Structure 1
Amino acid sequence: MNSPRTDAPFPRVVFDLDGTLVDSEPNYYEAGRRLLARYGVTDFSWEQHTRFIGIGTRETLTVLRTEYGIETPVDALLAGENALYLELAGSSTEVFPEMRKLVERLHSACVPMAVASGSSRAAIGAVLAVTGLDAHIPLYVSAEEVPRGKPEPDVFLEAARRLGAEPADCVVLEDAPPGAAAARAAGMRCVAIPYVAETADDPAFLAADLLFPGGQSEFTAEAVYEWLRLAGGPGTTGTIG
């Protein structure tokens, strides 16, 4: 890793939500599985679900609607999945422990933070509330509020705008290649924590400024906080693990 930059200002921090801050993918899978079962699709597997990790719910349903020949409009499918997901999220959403530590430490240091997610605004708000993260990160942006979802940069650029920051002064934490690609397209630095181990060598992750190839099992709040504080200047890259 490059030498620390002690003169660099602390960047704004933008978190992806699902799979990064919280382990919500099992809930999204179950919501999608139940939704598809209503339309006669009974073989939707976890392996199939992992294709869509990091991609917005609307984009995911658009693909699945075509693949399974479902005639129901995407908006109706989206409403159905959101209702199912909110029911699950309200009782069983867990924050990754080291992520909670990082959020609390950044909050104590008065570092501005935001969430930028492909989930609906209602889903983001519900998850932040049920986990208590809303006390530390009140600002969040949904892909439904911007023209294009990840891997396009729109949701991150909007988060930077609401934070009152330039993209180059923001660092994104992401668990999926489309999100890492979106961060790069936005001109932001990226800390990559792969949710799916097999994606760790994806080019979008390999181009990240800080990579934890082992995902959450290797991620520590201390390592990232120190990287942000000391080595967060432009041009600093590294891999941990």
Structure 2
Amino acid sequence: MRTIAIPIPEGVKGLIFDLDGTILDSMPLHYDGYNHALAAYGVHYPEDVFHSRGGIPTRDTLLMIAEDFEIKNFDVDQALETKRTFVESNLERIQLILPVFDIVKAYHGVLPMAVGTGSNRKVVTEMFERFRLGDYISHVVTATEVTHFKPHPETFIKCAEMIGIQPEDCVVFEDGKPGMQAAVAAGMKVVDVTKYL
């Protein structure tokens, strides 16, 4: 097995992973999906803003964009469906992020693990099946199961409850600022995977 390139903080008892941009290299596809959906409104979503909102559910992000650009008569449901169709038609573009997946494989059966993501349950189920992530991780919290999204800590608190580990004994692997803020708010350690990719 490859050497693990991303350090694990000392003394942690549970591992929690974001999905998009952390385990899966899916962010470029999602970014293109937003711009595909926004083309009808003559809007181009800036890439830096997109990355600053990583982990926020798509509907909420689209509403933020509509406010940012003062889009009149914005049909969020139509934009949501257009983006979803685009992403689902291009799933072959998504690949595993191997340095993070190495951690998942190395700690499978060693420490309890969970995924906490801002994606909805349907998309997450498809990704778990496509990459056989369920062979390694059985505990998953999606946007479908929470009331408050990242940067609120609810997603990661639920992950800790699922794996039976106290928040202060968990480490979260994240690529997005809202997710990192959520981990800190939950009282967990956090590893910014972008520093190692």
Q: TM-score range by the shorter chain?
A: 0.7 to 0.9
Q: CA deviation at 1:172?
A: 0.6
Q: CA deviation at 1:174?
A: 0.9
**CA pair 186-98 structure 1, distance change in 2 beyond 3 A:** same
Aligned to 1:174: 174
**CA pair 67-188 structure 1, distance change in 2 beyond 3 A:** same
Number of residue pairs the alignment of both structures matches: 188
Q: Percent identity?
A: 31
**Range moving further from structure 2, 149-158 or 69-78:** 69-78
Q: Which digits, 9 at most, give the CA deviation of each residue in 1:137-176, with x for residues without a partner?
A: 1221112321111111011111112222221222111112
Aligned to 2:57: 56
Q: Which digits, 9 at most, give the CA deviation of each residue in 1:37-91, with x for residues without a partner?
A: 1x232533434433323433232111012233153453443343233222222x1
Q: CA deviation at 1:35?
A: 0.8
Which structure has the bigger radius of gyration? 1
Aligned to 2:93: 92
Equivalences for 1:10-49 in 2 at 5 Å? 10-37=12-39, 39-49=40-50
What is the Cα-based RMSD across aligned positions, in Å?
2.2
Q: CA deviation at 1:17?
A: 0.8
Q: Distance in 2 between matches of 1:79 and 1:11?
A: 39
Q: Distance in 2 between matches of 1:191 and 1:164?
A: 20
Q: 3-state DSSP class of the match of 1:49?
A: helix
Unaligned runs of 5+ in 2: 1-8
**CA pair 65-107 structure 1, distance change in 2 beyond 3 A:** same
Aligned to 1:158: 158
Aligned to 1:81: 83
1:67 aligns with 2:62: no
1:128 aligns with 2:128: yes
Query: Contact 1:172/1:189 (CA < 8 Å) preserved in 2?
Result: yes
Q: CA deviation at 1:185?
A: 0.5
Q: TM-score, normalised by structure 1?
A: 0.70
Q: 3-state DSSP class of the match of 2:41?
A: coil
Query: Contact 1:93/1:131 (CA < 8 Å) preserved in 2?
Result: no
Aligned to 1:225: none
Query: Contact 2:18/2:173 (CA < 8 Å) preserved in 1?
Result: yes
Query: Contact 1:156/1:186 (CA < 8 Å) preserved in 2?
Result: yes
Query: Contact 2:174/2:193 (CA < 8 Å) preserved in 1?
Result: yes
Query: Contact 2:38/2:79 (CA < 8 Å) preserved in 1?
Result: no
**Range moving further from structure 2, 141-150 or 47-56:** 47-56
Q: Higher RCO, 1 or 2 (CA under 8 Å, sep at least 6)?
A: 2
Query: Contact 2:37/2:80 (CA < 8 Å) preserved in 1?
Result: no
1:140 aligns with 2:140: yes
Unaligned runs of 5+ in 1: 195-213, 217-241
Find runs of 4+ consecutive structure 1 residues off by over 4 angstroms. Answer: none
Aligned to 2:6: none
Query: Contact 1:18/1:24 (CA < 8 Å) preserved in 2?
Result: yes
**CA pair 98-59 structure 1, distance change in 2 beyond 3 A:** same
1:215 aligns with 2:168: no
Q: CA deviation at 1:132?
A: 2.2
**CA pair 47-188 structure 1, distance change in 2 beyond 3 A:** closer
Aligned to 1:227: none
Q: Distance in 1 between matches of 2:103 and 2:26?
A: 18
Q: 3-state DSSP class of the match of 2:104?
A: helix
Query: Contact 2:36/2:82 (CA < 8 Å) preserved in 1?
Result: no
